[in-house]
C-alpha cells in the first residue's frame, strides 16, 4: 500500500546535500562540508573533518505558502519516517564513535536535534533536515573509516618512518658530529685531497640531505598520530604522502644546501669559542630539519629568490637590486 502524502509545499524533490570538498594533502583527511567545518562557533579557518557549530545557526529558506503546499503534497510519509530513523541511529553512532571528543559530540547532537525539530514542526523543510543528517553521517563514516583503516595501516607506516629515522640519524650524526673522519672517507672515495674544498661541500650536502629527511619523517609521524588519534580523519588514499615525506625532506634539505651555497641565504651565527666548528655545522642542519618538517619554509624562500631574480610585471624594465636573505 502506497503512503499518503502529507499536506502542503514545493515543486522540488528532496535534495541530498554535498558531503564536502576534498581536503588538502598534508595533513590527510576529508572535509565534511564546505565553508562551515569548524567546531568553534566562529567563522575562522576550519579544521578538516570536524562538524561545525555554525550549521545550527543556518536559517531555513523562506518559502511561499504555495511552495509549502506543493512540497507537502509530494513528500511521502515514508521519507520522513526513514530520516527520523536515521537520526535515531546517528545518535547511537555519535555516542559510540566520538568518545573523547565531547565538543564534537555536543555539536553533532545539536545538528541532529535541529533536524528532528524540522521534521516535527516544518516537514516542508525536509531538504534542510536531510542536509543536517547527511553532515553527521559523513563525519560518522569518516571517523569509522579512520578507526578501521588506521588500525590496519599505522603499524607499517610507523615502522617505515622509524626505519628512515634510524638510517638518516646515523648519517646525520656521522656527518655532523664526526665530520673530520667522514671527510677523509669522502676524499678517498672522490680521489681528491682531504684538504680540498670540494670535500667540505660534499659532507655539508650529505648532512643537509640527512637532516632534511629527518624533518620529513618526523612530520609524517606527527601527522599520522594527529589524524588517527586526534582528528580521526585518516584516509589510506593519502598513504603516498606518508611514504614520500622522508624523500621529499631530503630533496628540500638539498635545496637548502644549494640556496646557502649560492649565497641567497646568509646565516648570522656567532658560535662561542671552542665550539665554532660544531656550531657552523649545526646551523645548516637546523635549517634543513625545519625545511623537511615545514616544507612551506623552503617554498617561501624559493619564491622570494625568484622575486629577486625575475623583474616584476609592473616594472619590467627596472633592474631588480640584488639582496641577501638572512636568518
**Domain ranges, ordered by start, for the chain:** 152-326
Residue 188 banded pLDDT, cuts 50, 70, 90: low
Top-confidence residue, 296 or 321: 296
Give the position of cell 563514516. 141
Cβ pair 168, 136 in contact under 8 A: no
Separation of alpha carbons 294 and 296, rounded Å: 6
Torsions phi, psi of 9, nearest 5? Answer: 180, 160
Cell of 35: 565553508
Angle at 112 between CA 81 and CA 46, to 5 degrees: 140
Per-residue pLDDT, averaged over 189-195, amounts to: 66
Q: How far is CA 18 from CA 32, 35, 36, 37, in A?
A: 9, 12, 12, 13
% the chain with pLDDT above 90: 35
Structure-model confidence comparison of residues 23 and 222, the more confident one: 222
pLDDT score for 299: 78
pLDDT at 311: 63
Q: Is residue 11 reached through a cis peptide bond, with omega within 30 degrees of 0 on the bond before it?
A: no
- pTM of structure: 0.68
Which residues, including other chains, have CB under 8 Å from residue 235's CB and lie 6 or more apart? 28, 29, 30, 145, 146, 149
Average pLDDT over residues 62-81: 85
Distance, in Å, from the CA atom of 135 to the CA atom of 52, rounded to the nearest integer, reads: 9
d(CA 2, CA 5): 9
Q: What is the pLDDT of residue 3?
A: 46
pLDDT band at residue 222 using 50, 70 and 90 as cut-offs: very high
Average pLDDT over residues 118-123: 90
Check pLDDT > 80 for residue 2: no
Amino acid at each position: 500500500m502506497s503512503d499518503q502524502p502529507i499536506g502542503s509545499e514545493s515543486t522540488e524533490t528532496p535534495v541530498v546535500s554535498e558531503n564536502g570538498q576534498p581536503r588538502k594533502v598534508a595533513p590527510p583527511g576529508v572535509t565534511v562540508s564546505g565553508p562551515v567545518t569548524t567546531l568553534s562557533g566562529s567563522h575562522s579557518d576550519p579544521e578538516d573533518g570536524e562538524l561545525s557549530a555554525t550549521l545550527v545557526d543556518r536559517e531555513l529558506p523562506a518559502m511561499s505558502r504555495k511552495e509549502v503546499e506543493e512540497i507537502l503534497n509530494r513528500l511521502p510519509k515514508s521519507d520522513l519516517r526513514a530520516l527520523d530513523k536515521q537520526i535515531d541511529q546517528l545518535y547511537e553512532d555519535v555516542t559510540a564513535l566520538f568518545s573523547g571528543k565531547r565538543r564534537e559530540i555536543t555539536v553533532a547532537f545539536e545538528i541532529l536535534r535541529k533536524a528532528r525539530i524540522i521534521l516535527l514542526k516544518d516537514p516542508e523543510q525536509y531538504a534542510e533536515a536531510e542536509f543536517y543528517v547527511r553532515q553527521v553521517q559523513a563525519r560518522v563514516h569518516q571517523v569509522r573509516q579512520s578507526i578501521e583503516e588506521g588500525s590496519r595501516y599505522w603499524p607499517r607506516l610507523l615502522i617505515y618512518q622509524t626505519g628512515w629515522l634510524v638510517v638518516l640519524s646515523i648519517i646525520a650524526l656521522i656527518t655532523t658530529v664526526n665530520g673530520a673522519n667522514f671527510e677523509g672517507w669522502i676524499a678517498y672515495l672522490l680521489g681528491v685531497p682531504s684538504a680540498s674544498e670540494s670535500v667540505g661541500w660534499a659532507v655539508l650536502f650529505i648532512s643537509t640531505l640527512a637532516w632534511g629527511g629527518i624533518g620529513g619523517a618526523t612530520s609524517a609521524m606527527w601527522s599520522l598520530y594527529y589524524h588517527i588519534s586526534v582528528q580521526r580523519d585518516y584516509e589510506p588514499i593519502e598513504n603516498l604522502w606518508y611514504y614520500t615525506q622522508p624523500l621529499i625532506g631530503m630533496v628540500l634539505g638539498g635545496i637548502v644546501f644549494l640556496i646557502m651555497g649560492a649565497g641567497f641565504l646568509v646565516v648570522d651565527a656567532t658560535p662561542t669559542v671552542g665550539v665554532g666548528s660544531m656550531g657552523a655545522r649545526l646551523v645548516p642542519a637546523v635549517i634543513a630539519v625545519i625545511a623537511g618538517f615545514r616544507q612551506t619554509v623552503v617554498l617561501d624562500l624559493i619564491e622570494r629568490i625568484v622575486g629577486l631574480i625575475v623583474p616584476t610585471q609592473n616594472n619590467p624594465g627596472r633592474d631588480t637590486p640584488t639582496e641577501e636573505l638572512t636568518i
